[in-house]
């Protein structure tokens, strides 16, 4: 019997590989990822390392699971030219699928000028940019909106679409309605009703399921989407079809 959690095909639009120390003390390796994907009917995982210094670790996991993993390079824009050059190397020479930024961890604001060279490199290689969203003072929805306004031709995913704060969640939807190049990923965002609101008001192609392993459990993230009030066909878009189209997998 197929469990309720596994009945929809899925693409996990945001998870991590590696070890996170204090205050999290969690880890996730390739074997755990493979097991999770099999158990919950996840076809592919858009995967990030555990820090901007660990992209080589992600590269190794991708090479061991090339049909399952879609790798994103985590760039710390604060590091300037060396970081920009390494990002370009991973996109150009190693074939990474996109860019991940975590302004909260790395200490820059999402709309800082140091982010613009990252965006230009993403534009050069036709890659999307994923940005953690929902923590002041570095990764607020309005800051990501300003970045989207400066770079309207680059698709940007607001990871967590505001995370745990109702005001930031609402602002993520508002920013995505204002800027067509903003997309919403829903992992760790506690309000199922806002998944439905985003789907109906931002656009049925611009909302994507994610887990954010190892921080969240797949069953929790899946159930939140399944209980948000969308039809099965609409759920198929959130769980799989939108990420497939966004990453050009069709």
Query: Which residues lie closer than 8 Å to 233 by C-beta, 6 or more apart?
Result: none
Separation CA 118–CA 236 (nearest Å): 32
Confidence band of 1 (pLDDT split at 50, 70, 90): very low
SS3 content of the chain, % helix, strand, coil (to 5): 45, 20, 35
CA 179 to each of CA 5, 70, 207: distance values in angstroms, whole numbers, following the listed order: 33, 25, 14
Domain 4-246 falls in which CATH fold?
TIM Barrel (3.20.20)
Separation CA 122–CA 91 (nearest Å): 8
Report the 10 Å Cβ neighbour count for 166. 11
Confidence band of 131 (pLDDT split at 50, 70, 90): very high
State the Cα angle at 113 between 96 and 127, rounded to 5°: 20
Q: 47-87, pLDDT tens digit by residue? A: 999 999 999 999 999 999 999 999 999 999 999 999 999 99
**pLDDT above 70 as % of the chain:** 99
pLDDT at 9 over 80: yes
Q: 172-202, pLDDT tens digit by residue? A: 999 999 999 999 999 999 999 999 999 999 9
Q: 203-227, pLDDT tens digit by residue? A: 999 999 999 999 999 999 999 999 9
């Amino acid at each position: 019997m197929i469990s309720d959690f596994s009945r929809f095909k899925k693409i996990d639009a945001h998870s991590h590989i590696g070890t996170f120390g204090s205050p999290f003390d969690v880890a996730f390796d390739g074997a755990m990822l493979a097991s999770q994907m099999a158990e919950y009917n996840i076809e592919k995982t858009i995967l990030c390392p555990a820090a901007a210094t660990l992209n080589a670790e992600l590269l190794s996991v991708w090479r061991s699971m090339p049909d399952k993993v879609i790798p994103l390079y985590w760039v710390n824009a604060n590091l300037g030219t060396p970081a920009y050059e390494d990002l370009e190397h991973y996109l150009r020479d190693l074939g990474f699928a996109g860019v991940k930024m975590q302004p909260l961890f790395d200490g820059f604001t999402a709309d800082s000028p140091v982010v613009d060279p990252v965006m230009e490199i993403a534009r050069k290689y036709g890659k999307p940019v994923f940005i953690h969203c929902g923590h002041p003072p570095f990764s607020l929805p309005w800051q990501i909106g300003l970045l989207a306004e400066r770079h309207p031709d680059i698709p940007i995913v607001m990871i967590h679409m505001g995370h745990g704060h109702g005001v930031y969640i609402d602002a993520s939807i508002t920013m995505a309605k204002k800027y067509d190049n903003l997309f919403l990923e829903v992992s760790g965002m506690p309000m199922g009703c806002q998944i439905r609101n985003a789907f109906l008001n931002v656009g049925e192609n611009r909302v994507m399921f994610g887990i954010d392993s190892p921080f969240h459990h797949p069953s929790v993230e899946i159930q939140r989407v399944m209980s948000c009030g969308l039809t099965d066909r609409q759920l198929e878009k959130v769980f799989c079809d939108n990420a497939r189209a966004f990453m050009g997998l069709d």
